[in-house]
Amino acid sequence: MPKIYTVGELLIDFTAIDVNVSVEDASTFAKHPGGAPANAAVAVAKLGGKSSFVGCVGNDPFGDYLTGALKGYGVNADFVERTDRAPTTLAFVARREGEPDYFFVRNPGADVFLSEKNVESIPFATDDMVHFGTNSLAEEPIATSVHKMAKRIREAGGMLSIDVNLRPAFWRNPEMAKERLEAFLPDAQLLKCNESELTWLTGEAEWEKGLAALHQRTDAVVICTLGKGGAVVSVKSGSMPIRVEGFRVEPVDSTGAGDTFIGAILYQLQKEGVKSSDLFGVEPSTWENYVRVASAAAAISVTRTGAMTSMPTMAEVMEFLSVN
């Protein structure tokens, strides 16, 4: 079975208990483990897959809590570094009609100190997958470490998966985010974004035109989530994008929903043994099924609070699909 490695930030989400208020006005917060790539690793593990997280936390109580949380969810934490150079990164999250509003305490945070030495110790095999998000490219040395990891997985013949997951607060200049992401597009096999990120990347307001423009710059299979409009899968050599309708639920907290979605996609590729060389030959009906399962997992997650804490098991996803 292919191994899934996610790399990037692992942090504390302090989620506001108060609903529909700003971070400034919230009075009480609940502590949750978070960080987009770490969330994706947990989504894989909770669905029944095998995942490892690669990242860095501080030598502090929050770092202890986060490494313990990963292990508790069944994620391999052997490649989690500890550092004295900065405390564990924190994020304060307020919910406005379910949508998260973030304030990051990261100047810098421990996550940016992921070392090349740690990345070089990972024994990649041909079938393995590496997944990361653009936030990891904003600072050094983590940006160089991610570059090294991406290069090593491609040299091994494995799959490179990227979630755009743009968080402007991580960047001094959002245009730098686009420039650094562009450098990875030729080597990516799987690219996940939402509709606004697709517009940001391509300048196209309509997702059909945006996907066409993006395929001029990458051969990757692109999965674009459309909010209440579901999701669309686009293969460069395919005749047309594959549109999958979403599920209507009452949102409580959408923190980590996108991470749940991409984690569910990666899990299904792992379960089916889909290799990098096989990805572009996956049948449209199979993609449709993958996205339907991922959408169900994400829909369940937004009805609960937190990111990792909200992610479902496969049994819960199957039960949800049986009535929707």
Q: Which CATH superfamily is domain 4-322 in?
A: Ribokinase (3.40.1190.20)
Residues present in the chain in total:
324
Taking the whole predicted model, whether its pTM rises above 0.85 is answered as yes
Instruction: Categorize the per-residue pLDDT at 164 as very low, low, confident or very high, splitting at 50, 70 and 90.
Output: very high
Q: Write down the pLDDT at residue 221.
A: 96
Which tens digit of pLDDT belongs to each residue from 57-100?
Answer: 999 999 999 999 999 999 999 999 999 999 999 999 887 765 67
Output the pLDDT for position 104: 87
Q: Which residues of 63-101 are buried (b: 16+ CB within 10 A; e: fewer)?
A: beebbebbeebebbbebbbebeebbbbbbbbbbeebebe
Query: What per-residue confidence (pLDDT) applies to 236?
Result: 83
pLDDT per residue over 246-269, tens digit each? 999 998 888 899 999 999 999 999
198-205 CB contacts, 8 Å cutoff, 24+ apart:
198/224, 200/164, 200/166, 200/174, 201/164
| Predicted local distance difference test score (pLDDT) of residue 3 | 95
d(CA 289, CA 223): 13
All structural domains of the chain with their residue ranges = 4-322
Which segment of 177-186, 235-244, 308-317 scores lowest on mean pLDDT?
235-244
Query: Among candidates 234, 183, 172, 181, which has minimal Cα distance to 207?
Result: 234
